[in-house]
């Protein structure tokens, strides 16, 4: 078994969470969890914990976007973006379904209560939401550059107020009419 990050062959068995065991690279501190091991652990957990939306204090683990070979079968793993404000992705082997966590990734997911949603991260609906989230973030950056941060915040506040108003269409008509007092 070779580490997909540093090619080390030295792994030690660790318990990431009660009942969830991984092989940790003693060189780079990455963790390998077999797919069956994760599913077994998840099945014994009971209820899914609610996600904590606020990012935890501290730095996010650095992102490595290179394709990694599976430490078990050497198949190239797929990278899945976590999203939800988490700045990294997870690697999963398409052949053996094992999961590679770079150093500190498991801990970052656990702090946000996303560690029990890893099976969902690898799904098309989750990834589609991640793409929508990224598009929203990029559009917001464009609007902030175009309008300025202060004006953008104000127009966003007004938009939220309009969206909540039962007279939204009338208010919009008034705002867009060049001469609302004209008869």
User: Average pLDDT for residues 15-26, to the nearest whole number?
Assistant: 95
At 84-130, the pLDDT tens digits run 889 899 999 999 999 999 999 999 999 999 999 999 999 999 999 99
DSSP H helical ranges for the chain:
35-43, 105-111, 118-121, 124-147, 149-164, 168-176
Q: What is the pTM of this model?
A: 0.77
Q: List, for residues 131-150, the tens digit of each pLDDT value.
A: 999 999 999 999 999 999 99
Where in the chain are the domains? Answer: 11-123, 128-176
**Under 8 Å between Cβ of 1 and 71:** yes
pLDDT of 59 over the 80 cut = no
Distances (CA, A) of 86 to 17, 37, 52, 112, 122: 20, 24, 11, 9, 15
Q: Is the pLDDT of residue 174 over 80?
A: yes
- For residue 119, the model assigns a pLDDT of 92
Mean pLDDT of 36-40: 91
pLDDT at 61: 52
8-state DSSP, 27: T
The contacts of residue 112 (CB under 8 Å, 6+ apart) are 51, 52, 53, 55, 56, 84, 85, 86
pLDDT at 55: 57
Q: How confident is the model at residue 47 (pLDDT cuts 50, 70, 90)?
A: confident
**Confidence class of residue 51 from pLDDT cuts 50, 70 and 90?**
confident
Any alpha helices (H) in 61-167, and if so which ranges?
105-111, 118-121, 124-147, 149-164
Report pLDDT for 35. 86
pLDDT at residue number 180: 86
Q: Where are the alpha helices (DSSP H) in 60-114?
A: 105-111
Average pLDDT on 40-46 reads: 84
pLDDT for the residue numbered 52: 72
- Host H or E run for residue 25: strand 20-25
Six token digits for residue 120: 């969902």
Q: Is 42 or 152 the better-scoring residue by pLDDT?
A: 152
Mean pLDDT, the chain, whole residue set: 90
For Cα atoms 134, 136, 140, give the angle at the middle one, nearest 5 degrees.
115
């Amino acid at each position: 078994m070779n580490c997909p990050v540093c090619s080390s062959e030295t792994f030690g068995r660790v318990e990431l969470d009660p009942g969830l065991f991984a092989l940790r690279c003693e060189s780079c501190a990455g963790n390998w969890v077999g797919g069956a091991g994760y599913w077994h652990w998840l099945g014994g957990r009971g209820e899914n914990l609610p996600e904590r939306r606020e990012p935890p204090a501290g730095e996010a683990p650095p992102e490595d976007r290179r394709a990694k070979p599976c430490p078990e079968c050497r198949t190239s793993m797929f990278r899945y973006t976590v999203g939800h404000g988490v700045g990294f992705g997870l690697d999963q082997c398409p052949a053996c379904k094992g999961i590679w966590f770079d150093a500190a990734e498991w801990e970052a997911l656990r702090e946000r209560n996303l560690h029990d949603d890893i099976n969902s991260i690898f799904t098309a609906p989750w990834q589609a939401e991640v793409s929508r989230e990224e598009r929203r973030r990029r559009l917001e950056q464009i609007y902030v550059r175009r309008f300025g941060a202060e004006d953008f915040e104000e127009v966003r506040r007004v938009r939220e107020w309009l969206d909540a108003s039962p007279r939204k269409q009338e208010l919009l008509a008034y705002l867009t009419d060049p001469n609302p007092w004209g008869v």
